[in-house]
Amino acid sequence: MMTKLKHLILTSVLAGLLASCGSGETHKVQNIAPINATVGIATASNEAETIRVSGRIEAGNSANISTRMMGSISKMLVSPGDEVKKGELLLVISSADLRAKKGQVEASIEQARSAMENAQKDHERFKVLYGKGSASEKELENITTRYEMAAAGLEVAQQMRKEVDAQFAYTNLRAPFSGIIANTFVKVGDIATPGMPLATVEGTSAYEAVVMVPESQISRIKMGSNANILIKSSNISLSGKVAELSPSAKNTGGQFLAKIDLQGSENILPNILPGMFINAVIEVDQGTLTPTSPMVDEKALIRKGQLTGIYALGNDDTAILRWVRIGQERGGQVEILSGISEGEKYILKPEGKLFNGAKVLLNN
């Protein structure tokens, strides 16, 4: 009986203390003046209708000049930065072996031509003799065969000359199109080998932006998509269209290569040069847009260590601290993945120290 009495007394004391504390806290909060604040509304939005990527300017036409012949560089007629016209001679490779071979071919052509002309005369003479019955059919067939073989021999020699002339084209290297010499890799006296790059020519009639698109975004870009290009070094803006999309990211580190044809680039030379870094904003396919989580103003967020929160506005105009999980940031707006719903009000700009449970007076 005595034990039960002690328990009843202790319970009564604790209840009294709790009631006293509770009424004191309520009194304390009620005595604090409301905090003026500006509120915002969490609004849902679609995914960004553009994709931001970076890359660099490249010439629409670009070629590494090389040769099939081995020989020493006897003439170097251009330097980096030189403007060249299509067909202009860039450098000359000396090849004594090729010149000797051409001399041999020319001699064989003369020999074959002489043999063919003699065989042709004999063929004409035997045709007359055969018509008069002074030569047999067998003799005419033999001389006809000899004439045809001589004519074929001349044709072979002439084809050999064409082959040598074609090889000479690889000793006198010319610009494949009009443009600028971007780089040279040899000087007079160096030995050129087959396939070795000797110079680079880049065209100036058209430029393109080459950008890398993440795997998560490549399906949202289509051929012909509009793009805005900003050349970072000169702050020049250009428009363009997606002209090429790589179907594979195997050799590009998991990102997909896209090429954007630049419109009007030829009008701003020399302010645009290959290799310049750019930022590109590409319009996405409208059919790929899907609803996303609510967006709030980034300035409304509060951070405590690893936690991110926001003060929501309760029905009784009180501040309610919500811990949230955030997503992407777009132009000062932050995606809220969890913690607040679309249409909910949140405190954007308080005019005093805000705390959980504080009364809020809304600014007009």
In the chain, % of residues over pLDDT 90: 22
| CATH number assigned to the domain with residue range 96-168, chosen from the 4 options 1.10.3720.10, 1.10.287.470, 3.40.50.460, 1.25.10.10 | 1.10.287.470
Q: How far apart are CA 239 and CA 262, in angstroms?
A: 6
pLDDT single digits (tens) 100-156: 888 888 899 999 899 889 989 988 888 888 888 888 888 888 889 998 998 999 999
Q: What is the pTM of this model?
A: 0.49
Q: Provide the residue count of the chain.
A: 364
In this structure, the number of other CB atoms found within 10 A of the CB of residue 33 comes to 9
Q: In 3-state terms, what secondary structure has residue 237?
A: strand
Least confident of 95-99, 100-104, 269-273: 269-273
**Topology of 32-46+290-362 in CATH?**
2.40.420
For residue 9, is pLDDT > 60? no
Q: Looking at residue 251, what is its pLDDT? A: 65
60 exposure class (CB count in 10 Å sphere: 0-12, 13-18, 19+): buried
pLDDT(77) > 80? yes
- Nearest CA among 240, 238, 222 for reference residue 230: 238
Residue 335 pLDDT: 84
DSSP 3-state assignment of 204?
A: coil
More reliable by pLDDT, 210 or 15: 210
Q: How far apart are CA 112 and CA 261, in angstroms?
A: 55
Give the pLDDT of residue 5.
Answer: 44
Q: Residue 21 has what pLDDT?
A: 43
- For the chain, the first-to-last Cα distance in angstroms comes to 65
Q: How confident is the model at residue 30, as a pLDDT?
A: 52
Cα angle value 87/93/99 (rounded, 5°): 105
pLDDT tens for 41-60 read 988 765 557 788 899 988 87
The domain segmentation of the chain, as residue ranges, is: 32-46+290-362, 51-60+204-288, 67-93+172-201, 96-168
Dist CA 153 CA 112 (whole Å): 6
Tell me, which fold does domain 67-93+172-201 have in CATH?
OB fold (Dihydrolipoamide Acetyltransferase, E2P) (2.40.50)
Examine domains 32-46+290-362 and 51-60+204-288 and report if their fold is the same: no
> Architecture of domain 51-60+204-288 in CATH?
Beta Barrel (2.40)
